[in-house]
Structure 1
């Protein structure tokens, strides 16, 4: 089977591509950098430029599954112009894929899209599942709504649509985790705010396997890609410090201070999302790193 991946050279995309290649799949990938184009028997790159509405239509040849991971990182300061880039990068990519696919003969049966957990309301006690319709309306939630609207339009092409709402991804290299442990490693770690905010996270290994599971079982619908164990910021900070054998002697960092440093992006450190992954587990998926301790054991 041939799978087309956007964002294939990023943290998640590169790990997913490697896993799918190991499983014997053929990978086509779209890139905006011509120097990243490769042409190997099972791994072939195609150029696109969503801002200019350009795409190499031959990327769809023989493709049965599209995995859309494209989108500007949310881990940069949210200036007005960068917020526009975060939003437009998700709108333009899905729309270009849809409009192009609509005009060519294709064999695509499934569209799998990355998404975020920001759509869920603030929650300390209530655990939200994919069935809950309550949403919040901050900037990231608006991004998720636009993102998922772009994905759902593919159902008009008689294509199964699966949406993967992903928690904070923990990996040894890249993503949030190395930045998360850096202050603790250098003896300046501290709990954020009151520390009670719930962290919904997932190990990169498990996230890649969620995508493989959804593809291989031809699933559709929305799935929360978060570890079964949710944990508070305070519990997480203390667990990492213990594993690194580092003391925590600084007082809790107030929210206003991080807002001065990071601006609106500080929301990521203080928002509380308590989410369930029961739906994917009920389908038969098993997490290799279901709790923070097992994840830290591998990551550290």
Structure 2
């Protein structure tokens, strides 16, 4: 049974949730991080992706690696330098881990990695399955490179599993606080047409899906990490406003305004990605939150 897990990106919001859940189940957890941790139950090993530095002791005793590292997709405008960082923080990071595994004796048997529904990019109303092909825009190709880098673990004889993650709903970080802020200020509104699909998922289901992947050695390949019932941007905005008891009176934010403000990065919010959860459900995963309203109610505690 898997007992010792190394997390990259473990100090992030999702990494923190997953670390807490794993510790509660009795796993031994360590992190690869750019800075020292503050959890006395977790040993933190330091790495520097830009300079190719990694603490070689990080893999000792580890049987599973969970790869969550990666700069925030929507945190900064996509300059050429930022694009390189978005790719390198995902691709070079796992490459450094694999290079270490090639050099040192280890007992790692599984690698479980995040990916993104950005793999499919803007596909209108078409329902995306794991077998659908990517597109040729930046966010899609970033995910292609990310997954290809993770798949190199198969050459080392390891089980490799990737989760194409949707919009994770968590009031403490990610997309939800960005969405709620204008609503709280009474200037919230749908974006663009409002008809674009948003493949959401509650953070607890994200954690539970990783727990399933860690415990079930039969799972490999790629799975979509989204709730079974996607909603449109307008439906999401309305549901959040209702949860916060705030009115929506402002007109939709025009798409051209976002393109001016965000440039190419505007494709994240203006694009439509409708994604199927059928494969992970067929694998036995039971969602706690299939309904957006119930998910938001749990998040906001009402």
Name the residue aligned to 1:3: 5
What residue number does 2:181 align with? 182
Structure 2 runs not aligned, ≥5 long: none
Moved more, 134-143 or 156-165: 134-143
**Alpha-carbon contact 2:119-2:164 (below 8 Å) kept:** no
Matched residues in 1 for 2:109 and 2:32: separation? 18
Q: Which residue of 2 aligns with 1:258?
A: 258
| Rounded Cα–Cα distance in structure 1 between residues aligned with 2:206 and 2:120 | 19
* Residue 188 of structure 1, CA deviation: 0.2
For the residues of structure 2 that align with 1:274 and 1:232, how far apart are their CA atoms? 9
SS of the aligned residue for 1:51 comes to: coil
CA deviations on 1:100-133 (whole Å, 9 max, x unpaired) are: 101111111100111011111533332111122x
**Aligned residue in 1 for 2:286:** 286
Which position in structure 1 is the counterpart of 2:141? Answer: 142
Secondary structure in 2 matching 1:88:
helix
RMSD: 1.3
For 1:87-98, list aligned pairs within 5 A: 87-98=87-98
| Residue 37 (structure 1) shift | 6.5
SS, match of residue 275 in structure 2:
coil
Name the SS of the counterpart of 2:127 in structure 1.
coil
Match of residue 15 from structure 2: 13
Tell me whether 1:105 sits opposite 2:105 in the alignment: yes
Instruction: For 1:242 and 1:171, locate their aligned partners in 2 and report how far apart those are by CA, in whole Å.
Output: 17
Q: 8 Å contact 1:32–1:49 — kept in the other structure?
A: yes
CA contact (8 A) 2:68 2:113 kept: yes
Please tell me whether the aligned partners of residues 31 and 37 of structure 1 are also in contact (alpha carbons under 8 angstroms). Answer: no
Shift of 1:94: 1.1
Tell me what 1:216 maps to.
215
Superimposed CA distance per residue, residues 174-227 of structure 1 (whole angstroms, 9 cap, x where no aligned partner): 111111111111110111111110000111111011111111102211010001
Give the deviation of 1:237 after TM superposition: 1.2
Task: Provide TM-score, normalisation by structure 1.
Answer: 0.95
Find the counterpart in structure 2 of residue 31 from structure 1: 33
User: d(CA) in 2 for partners of 1:220 and 1:82?
Assistant: 31
Give unmatched runs, 5+ long, in structure 1: none
Task: Name the CA distance, whole Å, in 2 between partners of 1:207 and 1:201.
Answer: 10
Whether the aligned pair in 2 keeps the contact of 1:6 and 1:31 (CA below 8 Å) is yes
The answer to whether structure 1 residue 130 and structure 2 residue 130 are counterparts is yes
Give CA deviations for 1:72-119 in whole Å, capped at 9, x if unaligned: 111222122111111111121011011110111111110011101111
SS of residue paired to 1:27: strand
Map 1:150-165 to 2 at 5 A: 150-165=149-164
Q: Deviations over 1:2-25 (max 9, x none)?
A: 000000000111111111000100
DSSP-derived class of the 2:63 partner = strand
1:42-57 matches, within 5 Å, as 42-57=41-56
| TM-score (norm: length of structure 2) | 0.95
Which SS does the other structure have where 1:237 is aligned? Answer: helix
The Cα of 1:296 is off from its aligned counterpart by 1.0
SS at match of 2:144: helix
Higher alpha-carbon deviation: 240-249 or 178-187: 240-249
CA distance in 2, matches of 1:168, 1:239: 15
Do structure 1's residue 295 and structure 2's residue 292 form an aligned pair? no
